[in-house]
């Protein structure tokens, strides 16, 4: 029964993001209604609402008894074993300024464990799908987290929650990572960073207190691509956590990333005083 629900859910989620993604793409870089959201400089556009409406209609039509939480409309439906999480436009700030780096993200959780993740990048027509114990795929090609002999020569993604702002520990860690690795990127579209790690374009991710409706699809994507997802203490990241502190990487890079995070959190020397090497 559970497997059949996941199979049906995969079809519904894929159809929903493709349908909504087409609308989002058609209106990209056009005048849109933009409103500020929250107290941390976040924004919402009319496309957030239009994409959300399409996705929620598809899910509720197919699974009227399932609970859904969505970025703009919040929580709906009766609590049960199944929970959908929807981020209809991950990367709204990018979308609003005409930067084509954004996605639509849907997650299905069963008893608080992600079992399905669907992420769609409409501007380049990349569809990412992960199913628990069945692997992770990009446009039908299986993804695999990349192993790098020296992770410091690679690229690491940084993700932090809106509420973190300039928290001193976060600032220290971010600066330390920036000088430790060849490159550090921050896309303001976290779901795409998880996909990049899953398909081998990134060498790791450090996430500082950022849950969001896109998190669990991304975590599942990396795990199903053979990646390791742990907390800052080295424990496997499972279930849900409203204040997550996460490292994601190839399993053989575990100790390197753990040590890097520990050093970064305990560092006192300003990043500007440290020497960068190997930049390209």
Per-residue pLDDT tens over the stretch 72-109: 889 998 899 999 999 999 999 999 999 999 999 999 99
**Does the pLDDT value for residue 200 go beyond 60?**
yes
3-state secondary structure of 107: strand
Burial class (CB within 10 angstroms; exposed 0-12, middle 13-18, buried 19+) of 111: exposed
pLDDT of amino acid 40: 56
Q: How confident is the model at residue 271 (pLDDT cuts 50, 70, 90)?
A: very low
Domains observed in the chain: 2-142 (3.30.540.10), 151-273 (3.40.190.80)
pTM: 0.92
| b/e sequence 255-268, b meaning 16+ C-beta within 10 Å | ebbbebbeebeebe
CB 94 within 8 A of CB 60: no
- Cβ contact 70:52 at 8 Å: yes
Assigned token pair, 103: 């996605």
Sorting pLDDT into bands at 50, 70 and 90, what band is 278? very low
């Amino acid at each position: 029964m559970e497997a059949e629900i996941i199979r049906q859910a995969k079809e519904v989620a894929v159809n929903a993001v493709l349908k909504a993604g087409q609308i989002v793409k058609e209106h990209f870089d056009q005048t849109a209604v933009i409103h500020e959201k929250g107290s941390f400089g976040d924004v919402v556009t009319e496309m957030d609402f239009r994409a959300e409406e399409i996705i929620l209609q598809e899910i509720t039509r197919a699974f009227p008894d399932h609970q859904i939480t969505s970025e703009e409309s919040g929580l709906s439906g009766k609590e049960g074993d199944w929970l959908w999480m929807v981020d209809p436009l991950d990367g709204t700030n990018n979308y609003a300024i005409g930067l084509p780096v954004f996605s639509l993200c849907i997650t299905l959780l069963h008893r608080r464990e992600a079992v399905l993740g669907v992420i769609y990048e409409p501007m380049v027509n990349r569809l990412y799908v992960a199913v628990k114990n069945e692997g992770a795929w990009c446009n039908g090609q299986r993804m695999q987290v990349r192993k790098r002999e020296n992770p410091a020569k690679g690229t690491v993604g940084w993700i932090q929650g809106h509420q973190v702002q300039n928290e001193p520990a976060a600032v220290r860690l971010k600066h330390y990572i920036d000088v430790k690795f060849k490159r550090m990127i921050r896309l303001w579209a976290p779901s795409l960073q998880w996909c990049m790690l899953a398909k081998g374009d990134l060498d790791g991710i450090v996430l500082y207190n950022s849950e969001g409706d896109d998190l669990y699809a991304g975590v599942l994507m990396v795990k199903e691509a053979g990646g390791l997802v742990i907390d800052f203490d080295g424990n496997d990241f499972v279930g849900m956590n409203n204040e997550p502190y996460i490292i994601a990487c190839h399993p053989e890079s575990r100790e390197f990333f753990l040590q890097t995070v520990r050093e970064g959190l305990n560092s006192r020397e300003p990043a500007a005083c440290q020497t960068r090497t190997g930049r390209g």
